[in-house]
Structure 1
Amino acid sequence: MTFRESLPTSRALAVFAALAVLGTACAANPSESQVKPGGRSFTVAAAGDVLIHPDLVDQAAKDAKRTGKGTAGLDFGPQLAGIRPVVSKADLAICHMETPVGGPNGPFEGSPKFLAPPQVLTSLKDVGYDTCSTASNHTFDHGLKAVGRTLDAMDRAGLGHAGSSRTPAESEKPDIRDVNGVKVAHLAYSGESFRNPAPEKEKWAFNRLGIEEIKKAEARAREAGAEVVILSVHWGLEHYNEPSVPQLELAQRLTKETGVNLVIGHNAHVVQPIEKVNGTWVAYSLGNQLARHSSPSGLTEEGAIGWFEFRETKKGWDVAARYRTTLVDIPPEPEDSEEELPRDAVKDVRLVDVRGALDHPDELPADRRARYHLAATRTEGFLFNRGAPARDGLAELALKD
């Protein structure tokens, strides 16, 4: 999504940390009597928007000169490397590729009609992502040709995709993957852009958000053998940490009228709550995974990786939810071209696993520790803001070596 010049004031945080401690133990797992003997299990990691602004392309060029890696002088690996220890541990990792890609040599564009380097797709695969949603308000920024180019590049990178299609036949075929012996389908839908809508004759190339369309797609996935269906949805208002009324209403309908097992939200570019709705986890917005808005707000640099543990029971699937806070570290802006940054200042754009960094506080300058603590506390507040820790056991993910 494009960045508004003036951001609305954030609503007050409601932090439920104490309640989380009390509630997590009783809500996280099914009772042993419900566990299916020999039942299967798997984990899913899902993250927010990958939105490649021009500053990120500049950083990739800078990193390529250092590493000697990448393609056509661009290496996104160092920017994304910080989340590899989290993402790579999941049995299924899902990203959200917000924009179409161009050729490896460019030209590339930022807001309002994005065209990203395809090199970022290889780096997303390298840190552990398996598949990505491609339905967003930017899907048709450069028309059907760019949609096809993007999906071709994802195929070459080894990334699955859901949300846009090259042909009418492809639009009817669900993205189903074998995950620890479980057939898992990934669907993706978005509200369409008023700025760059898909032409009527090419409507099949873009998954427009609608409950009936999602019902039909789920039915096709189930008929094709899917045992679990995960839905990525591009919805809501930009830069609001609370879900909108339409989001809440659609979450109710999705969890009542479909059999979708998990809903993953994007578009706000800031973190919104995670909660169970009618027994199904809904992540309203996981914020940005990797972005560098023209006027960073602090909140637009903070994100979350949702971590969902599926466990087969006698009645179906029990799902426990965890999260891991992320932060896009960006260098401060110098006031003139000759100014040198302070010795401990951030020098490069880097995506940080905040808990992983805070677990080694002696390695961090004081201002970085303070910034990471702020991100962790603020993200926790937004994620917990609809009571999921006490009611449903939402908690921070602790990684095991």
Structure 2
Amino acid sequence: MGRMATILLVAALTASCSSAAEEPQLKPGGRSFTVAAAGDVLIHPELVEQAAKDAEKTGEGDEGLDFGPLLAGVKPVISKADLAICHMETPVGEPEGPFEGYPEFLVPPQILTTLKDVGYDTCSTASNHTFDHGMKGVRRTLDVMDEVGLGHTGSARSAKEAEAINIREVKGVKVAHLAYSWESFLNPTPEKESWAFNRLDTEAIKKAELRARQKGAEVVILSVHWGLEHYNEPSVPQLELAQRLTEETGIDLVIGHHAHVVQPIQKLNGTWIAYGLGNQVARHSSPTGLTEEGAIGWFEFRETTDGWDVTARYRSTMVDIPPEVEAGEKAPDGSVEDIRLVDVPAVLDDSDGLSKERIARYRLAADRIGGFLYNRGAPGGDGLKPLSLDK
């Protein structure tokens, strides 16, 4: 055998052995489960108006509001997961209102019923808007979540509840969900009620993870409200915290919110970090195009002989917004008539009857979302791929 042939053979064998060594050794009879996580649920006044309009058509909902049609587009994805996690950005008010938008949100509690109906199991409630309406808003929000059957973590009604850990059994696996956020300067939590809100702090996260493990959690998922609004790249503090979390804790998955635009998903030190999943549903007063785009992160956990192997997928979403027209004018033919959260791949797969302009918008969203998600190298060896519902 020639020298070059020998070198090539050795290289091939080395690569083969390296690849085999990196392949996770699945535990015989091991357990597995899937997690779906999405971006901010931010109910602006325009979405309340849409829910009222839909209630008139459907005759359903509560107190004249039906959020079902708004969120129906993602139900096939969310309901398919073994564990679906949402981020409830704001406190809720009474069913009949009054409601408020930015900067001190108070939104219809009917949205929580719809989130449950769509398939969400539990939600993070730690955000810079958690305390917009003080303890009354915190209590009311968590009370309604309990009533509709949504789990929650990140805020609390008492010091005792603040020490509790949200642990759910998912296909025979005990999964803990933690949530932390930076605190609003507009509405900080009073010192006497500091337990009501989980402030973003590495040491506090470490202690919470330890409590979760002591209570039997086999997997720990962290929701974190961080970063800079409207920036598609994670900030330096985000990157530094991600580094610490993946080096100093055993947290199995980090889900990020707050930027209201899509940020990368990256595997860092063996742990998946979704820096920002954009908005699940929102209608900002000045839509940028980017604020209407979001991603559902999809993570499959498989039990190995040495812990958990996690693979990552994603599904692109977009909030369709009708064009603004002057009084007496007519919207262009084929344009969107109602605000709707859409599953972008599903719409592109069944685009018959849609205008060329709408199809082009969905393709732009799909391409742009993928580009932002991949910005920190996730496709390569990390293996981030789009989610196919057929698999």
**SS of equivalent residue, structure 2 residue 352:** helix
How big is the alpha-carbon RMSD for the aligned residues of Structure 1 and Structure 2? 1.5
Aligned residue number for residue 230 of structure 1 = 221
Change (3 A) 1:150 1:255: same
Aligned residue type for 1:260: I
**Aligned 8 A contact 1:28 1:320 in 2:** no
1:261-272 alignment runs, 5 A limit: 261-272=252-263
How many residues get paired? 374
Shift of residue 365 of structure 1? 1.7
- Of 264, 271, 274, the match for 1:273: 264
Name the % identity. Answer: 73
- Of 325, 331, 334, the match for 1:341: 331
Q: Per-residue displacement from partner, 1:66-101 (whole Å, max 9, x unpaired)?
A: 000000000000000000010010000000000000
Whole-angstrom CA distance in 2 between matches of 1:137 and 1:105: 25
Aligned residue type for 2:332: P
Shift of residue 170 of structure 1? 0.4
Q: Per-residue displacement from partner, 1:308-336 (whole Å, max 9, x unpaired)?
A: 000000000000000000000000111x2
- Of 140, 143, 168, the match for 1:152: 143
Shift of residue 360 of structure 1? 1.3
Aligned residue number for residue 359 of structure 1 = 349
Aligned residue type for 2:139: G
TM-score, normalised with respect to structure 1: 0.92
Aligned residue number for residue 318 of structure 1 = 309
Aligned residue number for residue 23 of structure 1 = none
Whole-angstrom CA distance in 2 between matches of 1:105 and 1:316: 48
**Aligned 8 A contact 1:96 1:132 in 2:** yes
Shift of residue 37 of structure 1? 0.3
Whole-angstrom CA distance in 2 between matches of 1:317 and 1:29: 17
Aligned residue type for 1:160: G
**SS of equivalent residue, structure 1 residue 263:** strand
Aligned residue number for residue 24 of structure 1 = none
Change (3 A) 1:58 1:82: same
Aligned residue number for residue 106 of structure 2 = 115
**SS of equivalent residue, structure 1 residue 321:** strand
The answer on 1:171 being equivalent to 2:162 is yes
The answer on 1:139 being equivalent to 2:139 is no
The answer on 1:244 being equivalent to 2:235 is yes
**Aligned 8 A contact 1:189 1:234 in 2:** yes
Shift of residue 364 of structure 1? 2.1
- Of 345, 367, 370, the match for 1:377: 367
Change (3 A) 1:149 1:35: same
Shift of residue 28 of structure 1? 12
- Of 192, 198, 202, the match for 2:189: 198
**SS of equivalent residue, structure 1 residue 299:** coil
Shift of residue 340 of structure 1? 1.8
- Of 256, 260, 280, the match for 2:247: 256
**SS of equivalent residue, structure 2 residue 230:** coil
Shift of residue 391 of structure 1? 2.3
Whole-angstrom CA distance in 2 between matches of 1:101 and 1:28: 50
Aligned residue type for 1:237: L
Aligned residue number for residue 13 of structure 2 = none
Change (3 A) 1:344 1:235: same
Change (3 A) 1:159 1:63: same
Q: Per-residue displacement from partner, 1:336-388 (whole Å, max 9, x unpaired)?
A: 22112123110000000000111113242211110000000000000000111
Shift of residue 32 of structure 1? 6.8
**SS of equivalent residue, structure 2 residue 178:** strand
Aligned residue type for 1:223: Q
Aligned residue number for residue 77 of structure 2 = 86
Change (3 A) 1:30 1:367: farther
Whole-angstrom CA distance in 1 between matches of 2:87 and 2:247: 25
Aligned residue number for residue 15 of structure 1 = none
Q: Which has the higher contact order (CA 8 A, sep 6+)?
A: 1
**SS of equivalent residue, structure 1 residue 256:** helix
The answer on 1:185 being equivalent to 2:176 is yes
**SS of equivalent residue, structure 1 residue 254:** helix
**Aligned 8 A contact 2:79 2:120 in 1:** yes
Aligned residue number for residue 41 of structure 1 = 32
Whole-angstrom CA distance in 2 between matches of 1:283 and 1:28: 26
Whole-angstrom CA distance in 2 between matches of 1:386 and 1:400: 27
Aligned residue number for residue 14 of structure 1 = none
Unmatched 5+ stretches in structure 1: 1-26
Whole-angstrom CA distance in 2 between matches of 1:376 and 1:157: 33
Shift of residue 30 of structure 1? 9.4
The answer on 1:400 being equivalent to 2:390 is yes
Whole-angstrom CA distance in 1 between matches of 2:116 and 2:85: 10
TM-score, normalised with respect to structure 2: 0.94
Whole-angstrom CA distance in 1 between matches of 2:251 and 2:60: 40
- Of 37, 42, 48, the match for 1:57: 48
Aligned residue type for 1:258: T
Whole-angstrom CA distance in 2 between matches of 1:341 and 1:150: 38
**Aligned 8 A contact 2:334 2:354 in 1:** no
Whole-angstrom CA distance in 2 between matches of 1:28 and 1:218: 32
**Aligned 8 A contact 1:235 1:247 in 2:** yes
**SS of equivalent residue, structure 1 residue 111:** coil
Whole-angstrom CA distance in 2 between matches of 1:302 and 1:396: 15
**SS of equivalent residue, structure 2 residue 291:** helix
Whole-angstrom CA distance in 1 between matches of 2:341 and 2:255: 20
**Aligned 8 A contact 2:39 2:295 in 1:** yes
Aligned residue type for 1:208: R
